[in-house]
Structure 1
Amino acid sequence: MSKNMTKDKLLLIDGNSVAFRAFFAMYQQLDKFKNAEGLHTNAIYAFKNMLDVVLKQEAPTKVLVAFDAGKVTFRTGMYKEYKGGRDKTPVELSEQLPYIREMLKDLGIKSYELVNYEADDIIGTLAKRGAEAGMEVAVVSGDKDLTQLASDHVTVYVTKSGVTKLEAFTPEHMKEVNGVTPTEFIDMKALMGDPSDNYPGVAKVGPKIASKLIQQYHSVENLYEHVGEMKKSKLKENLIAGKDNALLGKKLATINCDSPVEVTLDDLTYSGPNVDDLRRFYEKMNFRRFLADLAKAGELTEETTEVKKQEYTVLTANNLGEIPDSDHAVFYLAMLGDNYHQAPFAGFALAMGDKTFVSRDVALLKEEKLKTLLEDKKVEKDVFDLKRVTYGLSRLDIQAAGMTFDLLLASYLVDNEKNSNDLGELVKGYDYFDLKSDLEVYGKGKSAKIPEADEVFFNHLAGKIAAIKALKAPLLAKLKDHEQDDLFDTIEMPTAKVLAKMELNGIKAEPAKLKELEDDFGERLKALEEKIYQEAGEKFNINSPKQLGVILFEKLGLPVIKKTKTGYSTSVEVLDQLKEKSPVVSDILEYRQIAKIQSTYVKGLLDVIDPEDGKIHTRYLQTLTATGRLSSVDPNLQNIPTRTEEGKQIRKAFVPSTPDGYIYSCDYSQVELRVLAHVSGDANMQEAFKTGYDIHAHTAMRIFHLNSIDEVTPLERRRAKAVNFGIVYGISDYGLSKNLGISRKQAKEFIAEYFDQYPGIKAYMDQAVKDAREKGYAETIMHRRRYLPDIHAKNFNVRSFAERTAINSPIQGSAADIMKIAMINMQKKLDELGLKTKMVVQVHDELIFDVPKDELETVKKIVPEVMQSAVQLDVPLIADSGYGHDWYDAK
């Protein structure tokens, strides 16, 4: 054995077990953790958090993550019911497993599975080989089965309180916790049985008795050699009766440390991530924090080549006359950072004819020649990110016009995977340039700055112009070939202009109202705190799950719903089931809810009010989602809570810009379900919408076989509503059961009954999958494409996710297209009528307007008309409206 081999540290991770723990550790955030394609990402995210902790802690030189190959193993050959009682893995978790493997690959970590064996056997075998080779071995798992591997050279870490806190099991710790050695733990399990793995053990023998017996006899076999010597007792009778179970249990519980694992220790060398692949993966998963971590680590600066040398002229106030006249220009405005509302200007580039001009001095843009050129709508301009350019120029008092081509939007429509807001990043997907990103040229974060070498920076700016020129023709040709040129010209480009106007408009926010809410919520939190202490009989840390668990389940004696590795679960899901049993539970739920609103929204919004105009100016991301839906950031105005009265109170702070004005709100009623009725052609659903029925009550009437809508109960309507919207988003029986608090069997029956009552929808779903298999993509009624490369994947979970995407993307995407058309038409109408009313916020299916008092009657008439006539469907579009002196009253 070589000397440096003994210095190696081997890390082995139980992939399935940790993924399972990761999923449920962040289950309450399941709906929040989705990428642009709708893939749930909570387990992937939590798994990565665990990796960060353990890689830093152990600093391994060799790493492997082991996965189960399937349900059939040598253990099911011994006992066919082995693991037979487990629920089917939630589809929301199973769809993430292939992406966890992809992440591991990008991180430079090998994963492995072995037919007929479990992950435990792979880990046991490699742990043995590693220890024999003189390595220190660390094992990470979500359960304690693997603690039997603990030895002088093997430490087993078991996750607790999620997946980032680990309990270390050494032989000494095993003795402290269980009273037995690691190998004796196998015998303990044999006597106790394992409900999780579904083998019985000996009746009435739990951990304490099993530990005591094994401490005395050291093995199951030795116990049974001496069982006859035991005094007559019920325990003795049970041991004798359960002998076969105990001996079988030992075989099932014993990890096979001599499995035919083909990978060698040399195959597991860990040398770090493939940064480019990892960055692309994080972008695809929308993991902004991990992307930021990469940037902080300085790992985004590696580039092998630079953009080729460009021809350019450095522009100054003295040579503005060299800019030739032309009816066409290419323009690029460089700013440091994503938030172009505030980002410092770095420079600009302009091409007219065959000449390219570059400068650091953005003040030159205010010169009459350049300002006139940029504001002249007769001069057509090609840009990258029209909205960014429009807003940036507005900060210089330049009203941009004539922008007819946006490379960002064209690339996004052709392939919505290519949606980086950095031109240097985006062109890496094409063959034309190897152009450095702004991030690499300017530096990172708050320390970002223009490089000192003018030549580097100017060549970089000129390269941006060259990229826009080179990519325009092929992208326009692809748009035409895909029948997306109309989508580009009449929807996406005009939407960008409308959004720029909305961002500039902003919405007025009253700091005094937010301060009032801050004080009010602060007093309520203090009162709730005192009330909770009184109900509990003592003071404790309400935010500590451990202390709260002791109060609820030990002191107050409430029934234990769920336990974690560290004690009692006090999740929202658990507390919701207990709130009828004790008033303190309802008070704790209320405390948590108000505390979150206070920190996230009240204080958060106070920080982003513009001191100059008293408004909040959000940014809309037009190219983030694959469905075309808009997102709001800095701050996210689409995410203000509306389900609770406390959350709704936040809307009181949003007011009209004139003292006697109004906030007017108009939103589509069930637009996605109306789109579903249209594309599916289902007669029953179309009838409901054409007749003006409450669609959820109508659905309840049908699936519960009632005679009329009047017979529908609120509970039945709620369940029908969950099924209606669940179908649109491809919900599973597991997801529906969790949403409604019913069994998976009931949920499955609801879904089956739904398809019986709406057969056209089932036919649409089957056809959508078939079409996607043939074409490789799904598309909206406006021809917005969603490419689905995984529709033919061999992996069932990956393929199933692609199939669900094929079904719901045309629905969600068409709804997004309808809203964009409505926004475009609405702005046209406001301009045509010369109104001072401004469109200020878009929240998915809702538009918010700032309306002067004397224009209210006009707005009340035209807004619903414009929204309801955006497109013609086979069922009517309905828009509901309201108004008031703040956003709260408008709803």
Structure 2
Amino acid sequence: MKKLLVVDGNSIINRTYYATETSFMKTAEGLYTGAVYGFLNIFLKYLEEDNPDYVAVCFDVKHPTFRHEEYEEYKATRKGMPDELAAQMPLLKELLHAFNVAVVEKPGFEADDLIGTFCERASQKGVGCIVLTGDRDSLQLVNEKVVVKLPVTRGGKTNTEFYDVDAVYEKYGVTPAQLIDVKALMGDKSDNVPGIPGVGEKTALSLIKEFGSLEGIYENIDKVARPALKKKLEEGKDIAYLSRKLVTIMRDVPLEITEEDARRKEYDPARVLNVLNKLEFRSIIKRLNLEQVEPEAEVVFEKENNYKDIEDMILPEKVVELSGIDDMTNLILPEKIDVAYITYSLDNSGLSEVNFRFDDSNVGYTVILPGALFVPNFMDKFASVFENESIKKVLFDAKPFILWLKNNGCDFKGLYCDVAVCAYLSDSTRKSNGITDVYRFYTSKEIKQGSLNELFALKEIQEYAFRRLEEDGQTQLFEDVELPLVCILADLEYTGFRVNPDILKAEGRDFDKRINELTGLIHDYAGKAFNINSPKQLGEVLFEDLKLEVKKKTKTGYSTNIEVLEKLYDAHPIIPCIIEYRQNTKLKSTYIDGLLSAINLMTGRVHSSFNQMATATGRLSSTEPNLQNLPIKSEIGRHIRRAFEPRDENHILIDADYSQIELRVLAHISQDSTMIEAFRNNEDIHTVTAAKVFNVGLEDVTYEMRSKAKAVNFGIIYGISEYGLSRDLNISFYEAKQLKTDYLKKYPGVAAYMKDIVESARKLGYVTTLMGRRRYLPELASSNNQIRSFGERIALNTPIQGTAADIIKIAMVKVYNELARRKLESKLILQVHDELLIDALKEEKEEVIALLKSCMENAFELSVPLVVSIDTGMNFDFNE
């Protein structure tokens, strides 16, 4: 059977707009694109899943409909479309036209009516119809040939609620057609459909289940058992029938478009690429394999800038390609090189290509590395360039290249500019997807893809980048912190962290033992063996065999997620066993199996990747494996940490941790006298806060008081709401509101900071750290209250968390350089948020501890002292 996919355009794009992860996405030109991006991802997902023969996307038109003629107040309470979303509607339609998708709209009718008409026509011709919508009103359309799919996005993942006739009946206990009368009785606040006052969904469903329809109710009005309900129904009869007219989706709209017009067609890749480039949807371009497609015509952005004195990119006039040992041997490099511009191609199989341009030369050198055997010849020729500190090197994302060189015995020096880091500093909320993207970001122009074009763009990008850093007051942050950090992080990755596999394996055996015990218990409770990891099989056991109450269903069966299991916790002894089983299998997979597989067989260490440009606040992150997220408070976490050891028995781990650095930064930024005094007197800030808020002496502060004060202290940093505070402390909303109010009265400097920083961010469009790191906040200009509130929390937090991140980075540079200056054998091996970890020679222990405290406590001058605590041990569990 052929299939038609008909999409409720307004409903889907509204849903993606109000998903805060993407709704404030903007292009370099300031064009809002997040809602279109979300729509397109959902649209492509269902195109791939359903592979329909026909496709149409229906939209509302800003025009009164027949429903307004019936009821003047129809949708009168609905707010207008936010400006940021309205601006994206033409972009979406342009994109759909480029994809050759039928876009359908008609004055006087809503998208629902167009969808209903499509479904009716398709059904009559034996075509199956899939309605993709975020609006449950469309469930009334479901029949033997029409199904409805409701995409639901949680945590960045889109799942589907699927409705056919059976699924509708299972959820509501009525047929799809009867949902019209249910809605007529209960009304619809979102559309200002009145319904009968005092009749909600539960009552409406009960009435329709009993009487079948509106007519059935009024023909049997005397059989309504509750007098009060009978009275409401009698008084609201006219309203009910009016409401039914309003909520009934039309199925006979006179549409000029035919099903044939909606037949799925091939699209012109170049045309689609043009639109995707304008929207800067690089991930979609990659998803559709359009990287190698030539655009219809070269895209030129007209934009004024203040960089008239920067020369345009010089294109290569001559290319020297080196792809053999003879080519390499005979190559003569320039005698004097001031600047080397370098691009490279590196993946899991190794370095495959390196491109060079020296100074202002119009000659480009391309070195092709066909395999490992060619590497020594490459090093013989170019190591003198890489290791010469007087030759300035300009690259994009230099760290992977520097690490590759270190792994091949070459010590890279002289990094002058990493343009990816520059672009990250200029706007930390956008992702830089390659040189062409950064070139567009700085110049608003396009370059053709190709390694030589990218190489020759580097000089122009670097000049733009340096000018931008100077204008934004970030030159010192770049030169003193971010640039040296590139090479330091490469060295951390190269050094790695020794892991004892025997400890992990022993812990793994303990996990296996407990997992096997739980498996036996679960099978015993179930009365049979089954695959516990299969949601389908588990759902059948719980809800069919054991007859537990069904809490939620999915397209493929019963939901057995953690929310469902927690609701059933006391319903049967099998449930706690399943929860513990899942916890144990996840811990083993992540921290035992994951770490064992990450150990380098040659070095016996894990070599994590440190991401310098991944967070908007400037914090570093760690992946493959994530060493910043090792559990610390649980017993299992402590056991796992014991597997991390110094390089040998002659070395020891030294951990230096800033004490309450973010609160100290808050004290400095807010200049709150009470907070400053507490830190200067080396008092416990949480005890001081508790004494102030609860009006007791320091000696009378209880553990509970201190815990609440601590929650408020740290909650303030993250812009916590009264609701969030009540949830975290398990107290009433009123108590949480009073607690926060009392806190801000006792810390007036903090209260003033919270007010002033948001006002400043609204005015400037960004906030900065004490070192000048910027975070732009387009969210503050949003008409969406949820997004705007998110922006306000970010405005509060970023100067604090970002400054703390800057300070730890400054400390890293100081510690690393001081270890090198003193020619100590001890090595910096890890940074975890506010901590630095040294793998130290035991003989150097005291010197390294003093060095750490000196470098870290003097990294940056605040109004309050920076304090560092030191732990030492033969493994990463310093509490052992």
Does the residue aligned with 2:877 lie in a helix, a strand or coil? helix
| 8 Å Cα contact 1:201-1:246 kept in structure 2 | no
Partner of 2:340: 330
The residue identity in structure 1 corresponding to 2:815 is: M
Q: CA, structure 1 residues 554+78, in 2 after alignment: closer, same or farther (shift >3 Å)?
A: farther
Partner of 2:217: 223
| 8 Å Cα contact 2:654-2:839 kept in structure 1 | yes
Partner of 2:303: none
Q: What 5-or-longer segments of structure 2 have no aligned partner?
A: 27-31, 299-312
1:212 maps to 2:210: yes
Give the CA deviation at 1:555.
9.4
The residue identity in structure 1 corresponding to 2:746 is: Q
| Within-5 A mapping of 1:491-640 | 491-532=481-522, 542-543=532-533, 571-572=561-562, 586-640=576-630
Alignment partner of 1:642 out of 611, 632, 645: 632
| 8 Å Cα contact 1:366-1:396 kept in structure 2 | no
State how far apart, in whole Å, the 1-side matches of 2:502 and 2:633 are: 24
| Within-5 A mapping of 1:206-605 | 207=205, 210-214=208-212, 219-228=213-222, 230=223, 234=225, 238-240=229-231, 242-244=233-235, 248=239, 251-252=242-243, 254-255=246-247, 257=249, 274=272, 291=283, 295=286, 297-304=288-295, 308-314=315-321, 322-337=332-347, 343-352=350-359, 354=361, 355-361=363-369, 363=375, 366=378, 368=380, 370-416=382-428, 419-420=431-432, 422-431=434-443, 434-437=446-449, 460-461=451-452, 463-532=453-522, 542-543=532-533, 571-572=561-562, 586-605=576-595
The residue identity in structure 1 corresponding to 2:748 is: P
Q: What whole-Å deviation, never above 9, does each CA across 1:358-384 have from its counterpart, x for those lacking one?
A: 322463765555322321222333333
Of stretches 327-336 and 98-107 in structure 1, the one that deviates more from structure 2 is 98-107
Does the residue aligned with 1:312 lie in a helix, a strand or coil? strand
The residue identity in structure 1 corresponding to 2:141 is: L
1:184 maps to 2:178: yes
State how far apart, in whole Å, the 2-side matches of 1:835 and 1:690 are: 34
The residue identity in structure 2 corresponding to 1:414 is: S
Q: What 5-or-longer segments of structure 1 have no aligned partner?
A: 1-5, 85-93, 285-290, 442-459
Partner of 2:159: 164
Give the CA deviation at 1:597.
1.4
Q: CA, structure 1 residues 358+178, in 2 after alignment: closer, same or farther (shift >3 Å)?
A: closer
The residue identity in structure 2 corresponding to 1:375 is: E
Q: What whole-Å deviation, never above 9, does each CA across 1:373-428 have from its counterpart, x for those lacking one?
A: 32122233333333233212223321111222222222322333565263233223
Does the residue aligned with 2:416 lie in a helix, a strand or coil? strand
State how far apart, in whole Å, the 2-side matches of 1:382 and 1:239 are: 80
State how far apart, in whole Å, the 1-side matches of 2:417 and 2:505 are: 44
State how far apart, in whole Å, the 1-side matches of 2:704 and 2:35 are: 30
Give the CA deviation at 1:838.
0.8
Give the CA deviation at 1:103.
10
State how far apart, in whole Å, the 2-side matches of 1:8 and 1:191 are: 32
The residue identity in structure 1 corresponding to 2:163 is: A
Does the residue aligned with 1:63 lie in a helix, a strand or coil? strand
Of stretches 394-403 and 158-167 in structure 1, the one that deviates more from structure 2 is 158-167
State how far apart, in whole Å, the 2-side matches of 1:156 and 1:554 are: 26
State how far apart, in whole Å, the 1-side matches of 2:859 and 2:447 are: 40
| 8 Å Cα contact 2:96-2:103 kept in structure 1 | no
1:766 maps to 2:755: yes
Partner of 2:310: none
State how far apart, in whole Å, the 2-side matches of 1:534 and 1:554 are: 16
State how far apart, in whole Å, the 2-side matches of 1:392 and 1:646 are: 35
Alignment partner of 1:866 out of 849, 855, 858: 855
State how far apart, in whole Å, the 1-side matches of 2:422 and 2:620 are: 16
State how far apart, in whole Å, the 2-side matches of 1:160 and 1:429 are: 33
Q: CA, structure 1 residues 203+842, in 2 after alignment: closer, same or farther (shift >3 Å)?
A: closer
The residue identity in structure 2 corresponding to 1:255 is: V
The residue identity in structure 2 corresponding to 1:11 is: V
State how far apart, in whole Å, the 1-side matches of 2:564 and 2:144 are: 40
State how far apart, in whole Å, the 2-side matches of 1:55 and 1:99 are: 28
Give the CA deviation at 1:840.
0.9
| 8 Å Cα contact 2:7-2:133 kept in structure 1 | no
Does the residue aligned with 1:61 lie in a helix, a strand or coil? strand
1:57 maps to 2:50: yes
State how far apart, in whole Å, the 2-side matches of 1:161 and 1:480 are: 41
| 8 Å Cα contact 1:671-1:815 kept in structure 2 | yes
State how far apart, in whole Å, the 2-side matches of 1:183 and 1:127 are: 16
The two structures, once aligned, show a CA RMSD in angstroms of 5.2
Q: CA, structure 1 residues 369+150, in 2 after alignment: closer, same or farther (shift >3 Å)?
A: closer
1:806 maps to 2:795: yes
The residue identity in structure 1 corresponding to 2:115 is: A
Give the CA deviation at 1:781.
0.5
Give the CA deviation at 1:185.
2.8
Partner of 2:685: 695
Of stretches 680-689 and 175-184 in structure 1, the one that deviates more from structure 2 is 175-184
1:876 maps to 2:865: yes
| 8 Å Cα contact 1:827-1:839 kept in structure 2 | yes
Q: What whole-Å deviation, never above 9, does each CA across 1:118-157 have from its counterpart, x for those lacking one?
A: xxx9443222443576686533456754322335775433
Q: CA, structure 1 residues 573+885, in 2 after alignment: closer, same or farther (shift >3 Å)?
A: farther
Does the residue aligned with 1:322 lie in a helix, a strand or coil? coil
Does the residue aligned with 1:157 lie in a helix, a strand or coil? strand
State how far apart, in whole Å, the 1-side matches of 2:637 and 2:761 are: 40
| 8 Å Cα contact 1:104-1:111 kept in structure 2 | no
Q: CA, structure 1 residues 574+80, in 2 after alignment: closer, same or farther (shift >3 Å)?
A: farther
Alignment partner of 1:887 out of 865, 876, 879: 876
State how far apart, in whole Å, the 2-side matches of 1:682 and 1:813 are: 19
Q: CA, structure 1 residues 62+113, in 2 after alignment: closer, same or farther (shift >3 Å)?
A: closer
Of stretches 293-302 and 735-744 in structure 1, the one that deviates more from structure 2 is 735-744
Q: How many equivalent residue pairs?
A: 819
The residue identity in structure 2 corresponding to 1:164 is: N
State how far apart, in whole Å, the 1-side matches of 2:90 and 2:587 are: 36
Partner of 1:847: 836
Give the CA deviation at 1:845.
1.5
State how far apart, in whole Å, the 2-side matches of 1:538 and 1:247 are: 57
Partner of 2:804: 815
Q: Matched residues, percent identical?
A: 31
Q: What whole-Å deviation, never above 9, does each CA across 1:722-748 have from its counterpart, x for those lacking one?
A: 443333233444544554555656555
Give the CA deviation at 1:302.
2.5
State how far apart, in whole Å, the 2-side matches of 1:466 and 1:472 are: 11
| 8 Å Cα contact 1:697-1:720 kept in structure 2 | yes
Q: CA, structure 1 residues 53+837, in 2 after alignment: closer, same or farther (shift >3 Å)?
A: same
Q: CA, structure 1 residues 82+890, in 2 after alignment: closer, same or farther (shift >3 Å)?
A: farther
Partner of 2:112: 124
The residue identity in structure 2 corresponding to 1:394 is: K
Give the CA deviation at 1:653.
2.1
Q: CA, structure 1 residues 743+470, in 2 after alignment: closer, same or farther (shift >3 Å)?
A: same
The residue identity in structure 2 corresponding to 1:187 is: D
Of stretches 504-513 and 637-646 in structure 1, the one that deviates more from structure 2 is 637-646
Give the CA deviation at 1:624.
2.4
Give the CA deviation at 1:328.
0.9
| 8 Å Cα contact 1:202-1:246 kept in structure 2 | no
| 8 Å Cα contact 2:497-2:607 kept in structure 1 | yes
Give the CA deviation at 1:691.
3.3
Give the CA deviation at 1:837.
0.9
Of stretches 493-502 and 849-858 in structure 1, the one that deviates more from structure 2 is 849-858
The residue identity in structure 1 corresponding to 2:293 is: E
Q: CA, structure 1 residues 854+577, in 2 after alignment: closer, same or farther (shift >3 Å)?
A: farther
The residue identity in structure 1 corresponding to 2:482 is: E
| 8 Å Cα contact 1:597-1:647 kept in structure 2 | no
